[in-house]
Amino acid sequence: MLIRKLNDDLRAAARALGYPEDKITVTYSDRPDLCQFQCNGAFALAKELRRAPIQIAQALGEEFSKTYGYATAQVAPPGFLNFTVTDEEFSLLLSDLLKDERCGVEKTDDPKKIVIDYGGPNIAKPLHVGHLRSAVIGEALKRLCRFLGHDVVGDVHLGDWGTQMGLVIAGLEERYDLSYYFGGTGEKPAITLNDLNEIYPLASARSKEDEAFRAKAQEATFRLQQHEEGYYPLWQDICATSIADIKKDYAALNVEFDLWNGESTCDKYVDPMIDSFIERGFAYESDGALVMDVVEETDEKPMPPIILRKSNGAQIYASTDLATIQERMETIDPDEMWYVVDARQGLHFEQVFRCAHKTGMVKEDTVLVHVPFGTVNGTDGKPFKTREGGTMKLKDLIRIISEAAGKLLSEGALQQDPDAPRKVGCAALKYGDLVCNRNKNYVFDIDKFVQFDGKTGSYLLYSLVRINSLLAKAGQPDESLPLQISSKEERDVLMKMQLLATAYGQAYTEKLPSFLCEGVYDLANAFNVFYGTHKIMSEADPIRRNTWIALSAAVGKMLEQTLTILGMETVPAM
């Protein structure tokens, strides 16, 4: 990568001059029309060296030029140092990128073990649009971390142990003879997915009005959490039915988990953990509930105590999250745990993380982070709903966007890959989500997302299809011929490839896949400008033609690599 090379060499020049090299950093140029790279270090050095920035820049530029010929260094008042790289160097870069399996993206030299907790669906409730972002963002982050060389475990962390389970059981009791589970003579009831989907909303609404029903549901939750006979096997069957369906939805989205753990997985850790909090004086009773203070001196906002156990003894969200941390420390021992969860759960995670650190459940340097995201809104700016105003199931959403994408695909594309509508539809949906900074809400606009032109997933897939069909016609680059970069458009493409390689690191550090989305879009655009101005198929000069084919192949590889990390599936034709 040129930026690294320039940085190292300019620092060497600084050392030769006796300047402190740590102030020297080469960056991509703010003015790509003037030069490709720049260094503003002369301003930072001016004070220390008691010299004018322009003189320092001058000296650095001269020293650099004495040794290195691959870039010209030009001083611009009042002290910028601008670098323009030679075409020979760009040609070498292309040759390197072509050979590099990773398209210039370096592996980390500090690999971490990271658990990414994402998805977070609840058993017995169908996945809906609210589950989209966690799955899409979490999957992209997981793939990115893995590509960079981190050891990553993705955990779906099912909501399978809370009060909703008691509600479903209480609802089922009214619909079916459940004596099979409770030592009676009844046959095993055939509980279907449909039952579950219907029962949960009904039971949830009813528990708000019908006290007896609510008490029954609470009782069922409590008994389940005690692993009581009857309740536990019934719950296992409910989970199996629900998980099979959840898996289908995630598969359609090209989202995979390493662990299908849930809130129930950490169950055996909860009571001993809470006992130890009490013994060590961390937890105390308040209004019948067991709580812990997590206030810190620097707090500017009120920080309520974390509730660990309710008065009825039932486990709650915070205690299952805490026990899961303990379970992960014992079974996985990660350096970091990332929670890709809706921004509205910010307080919950702040409390949980503080509690985990305060009680020594994790190491001092264990990183626990909430990776929050905003909501998915409709074109009316309000949270996305169906036309009728209901919650849109994820299945329906995928179907609708696949149909919309399918309408834009050619006959040939549909023949070559009958699954192309889903792939293109889901790629469009994912890109539409990932391209906006996850902290913000975004407008879910199916028609816009599937368009082939514009900043869309379809556009990117289409750019790749075009490159692949070009290579199919023109052949692969000929390694026996030299590469010769000579035009602005070619250089622009190579600059965007380097910028995209840098974006991998930014996306990781900021936990923002949007950096990759921007970078890959800029690369596709630069490529399409190059493609429109360089007539590859009709070019007679073999070296020029081969260089262009090589450039196309390198871009194709990098597009594919990046789109795959974003969780998008590519297609052979569109």
Contact residues toward ligand ARG (CB under 6 A) are 117, 120, 122, 157, 159, 321, 339, 341
Bond into 302 cis (ω within 30) = no
Nearest approach, Cβ of 120 to ligand ARG (angstroms)? 3
Q: Identify which of residues 238 and 516 has a Cβ nearer to ligand ARG in the complex.
A: 238
Spatial separation of the C-alpha atoms in residues 22 and 244, rounded to whole Å: 55
Residue nearest to ligand ARG (CB): 120
Rounded Cα distance, 457 and 74, in Å: 40
Strand partners, 42: none
In DSSP notation, 30-92 reads: S-TTT-SEEE-HHHHHHHHHTS-HHHHHHHHHHHHHHH--SEEEEEETTTEEEEEE-HHHHHH
Q: CA–CA separation, 535 vs 537, rounded Å?
A: 6
Least Å distance between CB 348 and ligand ARG?
7
* Pick 117 or 139: Cβ nearer ligand ARG: 117
Which pair of tokens denotes residue 400?
Answer: 């609708």
Distances in Å between the Cα of 207 and the Cα atoms of 231, 314, 412 are: 19, 17, 54
Q: How near is the Cβ of 140 to ligand ARG at its closest, in Å?
A: 17
Nearer to ligand ARG, 79 or 119 (CB): 119
* Cross-sheet strand order for the sheet of 37-39: 26-28, 37-39, 80-85, 71-76
- For ligand ARG, the closer of residues 158 and 517 by Cβ is 158
Q: How far is the CB of 157 from ligand ARG (least distance, A)?
A: 4
* Minimum distance from residue 343 beta carbon to ligand ARG (Å): 12
Backbone angles phi, psi at 158, to 5 degrees: -65, 145
Closest distance to ligand ARG from the beta carbon of 338 (Å) = 10
Element (DSSP H or E) covering residue 200: helix 193-209
Q: How far is the CB of 347 from ligand ARG (least distance, A)?
A: 12
Can you tell me whether residue 16 is helix, strand or coil? helix
Question: Which of residues 157 and 557 has its CB atom nearest to ligand ARG in the complex?
Answer: 157
Q: Which is nearer to ligand ARG, 14 or 116 (CB)?
A: 116
β-pairing verdict for 367-373 and 336-342? parallel
Angle of the 231-252 helix axis to the 211-225 helix axis, nearest 10: 90
- Relative to beta strand 376-377, strand 442-443 is parallel
Taking the complex as a whole, the smallest distance from the CB of residue 242 to ligand ARG amounts, in Å, to: 13
* 138/519 with CB nearer ligand ARG: 138
Locate 45 and state its tokens.
């050095």
| Of residues 309 and 496, the one with the C-beta less far from ligand ARG | 309
